[in-house]
Structure 1
């Protein structure tokens, strides 16, 4: 028994010494105060086919993405998970996008990025991108039991027809899952604008869960006097105008970008895409 005891003590000592000599390190990069972080969104109104995917992205002539993780239409990079950002030294940067497997250079523009997190939208191959502050750090609605809030940021990148941005000012709305009341999400926005982060109510469908429910959304057209009017009409795949309505499964505490893109009166037809921010 004494021999077993001494062997155990020796093994424990060896393990302890091994841990001291081999510290666990994580492969991370600390960002300086001069760095800009950004997500790149691709909302040029194109048909969602692989030939329109961006298979190479260069920032200041350095490769940031290639065919192993392409930027697909109506989507964003970095890919893989939420809350990921590219980083680059703040100031003026150059963005080059190469479309298709033959790597056709379709975008070459300079833009200024500030320190901190931002969302960069490419919506026309011949125009500068529009840059939005990401709104980070995010605030949270903390409760003793369980929260009932998620957050949505709506962006208007709706075209009327090819090369013609829509002149309509849009009011984004959601249906309160408890009262069924239609609630405005922020103020009306024109092309190239966003509502900023807006809270929505989420009522758990299952109590002992992370918490989610179906949320229905509407879009209204706002007239020149600021009055909220009729539902937004969009072409469907059959070439008929229909009232916009859609729904998403939203989780308590999460944040979502809702972006309308495509064409209102032509193909590719318009729709709202959801990208999870947190």
Structure 2
């Protein structure tokens, strides 16, 4: 289908973009990579009267180290994330996950900010940001504020962002040296959303898990932070019984939709398998 009519705006600064979004209100939507918004517009599931294109704002791009954090500009593409030596060195799980997003054509255009901002439960980065303890910088008419990724997602396509606000950057704490990581994703074909996916970041000490965080993708209306599953493995050597308990704890909080990817019980089952696989692989990468 063809999108409905809209007016096009291309601001040069964040302040101009915020002013447009504030003035135009609910009739306006920001445009980043467009891979979420444009398909919805074509299906007439979204009918904004105004598009505020963010590509003219150079300050929204870039990846910089700021102390013990990496700050990623919202308009940084997945391709640019993959090309970053800093990301590969400091937070390699972001590199791993970005490679599993759609295909190269999409990654050349799709942005990190767009992936995390709109609350699409199928997007890969939100659960990973929960796992990494990331926060989002939101800029609006009243100034800027930082919102933890854990507090940002409130429902499918429903987030903590307020009218007139724009997500401008993602701040990710750098995991400790020697940490293990994995993003395990089951999908039907290249380019598809996950049937189920799990992110794990952990550390080991004397052969046992010292710290662990687990995030789940597309297994609820929001990304999930599997706190109980992570607690289950602390102090263990990730033996088979522990992996089974962790998978069960993760499955207990899953509530996926039954869709073309499979019925609810199947998606929960493979979600548990993704958790176990991610835990094992993450542990194998610790140094």
Assess same fold via TM > 0.5.
no
Q: Which has the higher strand share?
A: 1
Q: Identify, as 1 or 2, the structure richer in helix.
A: 2
